[in-house]
Amino acid sequence: MSTIPDPGVRQDGFRIGMLINDTRYRAYTFQFIALLLLLLGIGYLISNLLTNLERNGLDISWAFLGEPAGYDINQRPIDYTSQSTHARASIVGAINTLIVAVLACASATVIGVIAGVLRLSNNWLVARLMSIYVEAFRNVPVLIWILIIFLAMSNALPQPRAFRGENATSEVWLDLVAFTNRGVYIPAFENGSGSVVFWLTILASIIGVFVYRRYARNLLYSTGRMLPTGWPSLAILIVPGLVMYFLLGQPVGLERPELKGFNFQGGIHLRLSLIALWFALAIYTGAFIAENVRAGIQAISKGQTEAAAALGMRPGRIMNLVILPQALRVIIPPLISQYLNITKNSSLAIAVGYMDITGTLGGITLNQTGRAIEAILLLMLFYLCVSLTISVIMNIYNNSVKLKER
């Protein structure tokens, strides 16, 4: 039976009305209108921008990046003087952002995992304490926590002069770390001759541990023979470095912070603003991660534990081989967004005077040069790049632990 064309409608005809009434064409109409509106809107905004710039005698120019910045940055991981350019100041700020973000991500993960596991503990008191911690930190703005911690530290920690003299009221902790209200002084490595070999050895032993663990796992899967991994890993990690250290005649020393004059000299000076920001971000985000960890563990049904126990596994192995791999799948996606949150929240550094990129490029550089549009555009691009990089890396990791479906 052949289809009979509807006599009312011409098959190959096209009428203007079909643009809105025919579902085949309607999508194109809508998209065309949307695109048109978008372009009109952008055009309107840009024409406003140009008019305003002209009226105020401004222009868009990136030349300010090459001019000397003229301000000092107190926490500088790379060489920087007030004669350096604005571009270099921005780079210093960017590195400072990354430093505090990495530190805070690592410690927030540790805090969060511990608190999340303890919140599920069958110890009544500890579980309650952890609930209080999580609720208290989740429900108060991170800015308030940053300010409280910064102010509390700068008031409670001793001044450098408290370390001086016979009857000093404070002492350098283990002769290595000094906590003062100007920041924390930690020892730095002093690299002598042959130190390169030493560091390469350390690097090689770290790689060696992974190689050994991989070998042990492959052996287990192919032959069923189980090699011990704990002690050998530790030995591989420590022994070659130790041997090298004495073989090369102690090439690496520690430069300890020492009180000279009014302040500590030597070692690495971590500003109080960095410490407070790091601590506040870690403990605030740790509360969120704790909730994610708890949800992840609770998402694994009890039958999994019971099944593993029925197979005769010991509790430690049940956790490592059955519960955690499954819980990780639930935990990692929200963990990614917590890492992104830390990176974005690190821009609150401006509240305590830590010179991250928001403080340099978006703060002093912007105010000195008046190049608001350019500076903020660069600032946004930086954060966008960091965010996208973190999501890409963590998504790759997420795919590697994801359930492999066939």
Partner 1 sequence: MSDVSFVRHDQIPPSPPPAREAGLVKWLRENLFSGWLNSILTILAVYFIVRIVVGVYPWFANGVWEGNSLADCVAALEGQSGACFAILGERWNQLLFGISYPSESYWRPFLAFVLLLPCVSPVLFSNLPRRLLVLTLLYPFIAFWLIWGGTILTPIVGLIGFIAAYYAFLEGEKRSGFVLGLIAGVIAAIVVWRVGGMLSGAASGFLAFEPVASRDMGGFMLNMILGTICVSLSIPLGIALALGRQSSMPIIKGICVVFIEFVRGVPLITLLFVANVVLAYFFPPDANIDLILRVIIMITLFSAAYIAEVIRGGLAALPKGQYEAADSLGLNYSQAMRLIILPQALKISIPGIVNVAVGLFKDTTLVSVISMFDLVGAIRGPILGSANWTGIYWEVFGFAALLFFVVCYGISQYSQWLERQLQTDHRD
- Least distance (Å) from partner 1 to the CB of residue 145? 8
Taking each helix axis from N to C terminus, what angle separates 195-223 and 230-247, rounded to the nearest 10 degrees?
Answer: 160
Nearer to partner 1, 40 or 49 (CB): 49
- Least distance (Å) from partner 1 to the CB of residue 216? 28
Please, are residues 288 and 109 in contact by the beta-carbon 8 Å criterion?
A: no
Per-residue string for binding with partner 1, 319-358, x by CB under 8 A?
---------------------x---xx-xx-xx------x
- Least distance (Å) from partner 1 to the CB of residue 225? 32
Nearer to partner 1, 100 or 351 (CB): 351
**Vertex 96 angle, CA 91 and 98, to 5°:** 95
Q: Quick check: 265 binds partner 1 (CB under 8 A)?
A: no
Taking each helix axis from N to C terminus, what angle separates 272-299 and 124-138, rounded to the nearest 10 degrees?
Answer: 120
Kindly state the number of chain residues that form the binding site for partner 1, as judged by CB under 8 A: 56
Q: CB 306: neighbour CB atoms within 10 A? A: 11
Please, are residues 115 and 107 in contact by the beta-carbon 8 Å criterion?
A: no
Q: Quick check: 60 binds partner 1 (CB under 8 A)?
A: no
23-52 binders of partner 1 (CB under 8 A): 27, 30-31, 34-35, 38, 45, 48-49, 51-52
Q: For residues 261-272, b (16+ Cβ closer than 10 Å) or e, as one string?
A: eeebebbebbbb
Distance CA 173, CA 130 (A): 29
Considering only 10, 15, 138, 260, the residue that binds partner 1 (CB under 8 A) is: 138
Per-residue string for binding with partner 1, 351-370, x by CB under 8 A?
x------x---x---x----
- Please compute Rg for the chain using Cα positions: 30
Q: Beta strands of 167-324 (E only): which ranges? A: 178-180, 183-186, 188-191, 252-255, 258-260, 263-265, 268-271
Tell me which stretch binds partner 1 (CB under 8 A): 120-128, 229-237, 249-257, 315-323: 120-128
Residues that bind partner 1 (CB under 8 A): 20, 27, 30-31, 34-35, 38, 45, 48-49, 51-53, 55, 118, 121-126, 129, 135-136, 138-145, 147-148, 151-152, 155, 340, 344-345, 347-348, 350-351, 358, 362, 366, 372-373, 376, 379-380, 383-384, 387-388
